């Protein structure tokens, strides 16, 4: 049997970063689940418009148009502009599809439910946007530290 060596400082830091990032991702998942429940109650079409609610473009769209009525009033160009500012790679292509989907017949919640849930939607988005940025920073730091902790990182970098 060989003696177990304690982790190097870089490996210990990497483990800590991974643990902390995992906690942030769990928080993000809880918030996305709450947002999904809100959208199901008052804005179900939004769940069909975006593949991942935690993406910046989806969150910015919902922040700009927190109710289906507000989204239906927007033009293709306005929606494309919102998506483009949020960093959506194909905003001009997706915007007409979103407008078309919004104008399809759909179930609508009463006005009181829509007003109350839209406030909660905005509150959840206000928490999700900075959380997503922090998770991305953790991911970048973790990748940099992981690369730097490899024994042959100098050789790989050259």
Q: pLDDT tens for residues 112-130?
A: 999 999 999 999 999 999 9
What pTM does this model have?
Answer: 0.83
Burial degree of 1 (CB within 10 A; 0-12, 13-18, 19+): exposed
Confidence of residue 9 (pLDDT cuts 50, 70, 90): confident
CB 128 within 8 A of CB 54: yes
pLDDT, greater one: 109 or 56: 56
Judged against a pLDDT cut of 90, whether residue 31 lies above it is answered with yes
The class of domain 9-147 in CATH terms is: mainly alpha
Biggest CA pair distance of the chain: 71
In angstroms, what is the C-alpha Rg of the chain?
21
pLDDT, greater one: 142 or 152: 142
Tens-digit pLDDT profile for residues 58-91: 999 999 999 999 999 999 999 999 999 999 999 9
pLDDT, greater one: 140 or 155: 140
* Res 108: pLDDT: 82
* Res 58: pLDDT: 96
* Res 36: pLDDT: 96
* Res 152: pLDDT: 45
């Amino acid at each position: 049997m060989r003696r177990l060596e304690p982790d190097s400082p870089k490996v210990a830091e990497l483990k800590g970063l991974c643990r902390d990032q995992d906690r942030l991702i769990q928080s993000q998942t809880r918030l996305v689940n709450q947002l999904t429940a809100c959208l199901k109650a008052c804005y179900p079409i939004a769940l069909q418009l975006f593949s991942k609610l935690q993406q910046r473009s989806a969150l910015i769209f919902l922040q700009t148009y927190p109710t289906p009525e507000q989204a239906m009033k927007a033009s293709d160009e306005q929606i494309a502009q919102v998506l483009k500012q949020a960093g959506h790679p194909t905003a001009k292509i997706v915007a007409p599809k979103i407008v078309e989907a919004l104008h399809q017949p759909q179930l609508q919640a009463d006005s009181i439910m829509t007003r109350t849930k839209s406030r909660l939607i905005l509150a959840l988005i206000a928490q999700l946007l900075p959380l997503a940025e922090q998770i991305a920073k953790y991911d970048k730091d973790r990748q940099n530290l992981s690369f730097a902790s490899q024994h042959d990182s100098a050789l790989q970098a050259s």
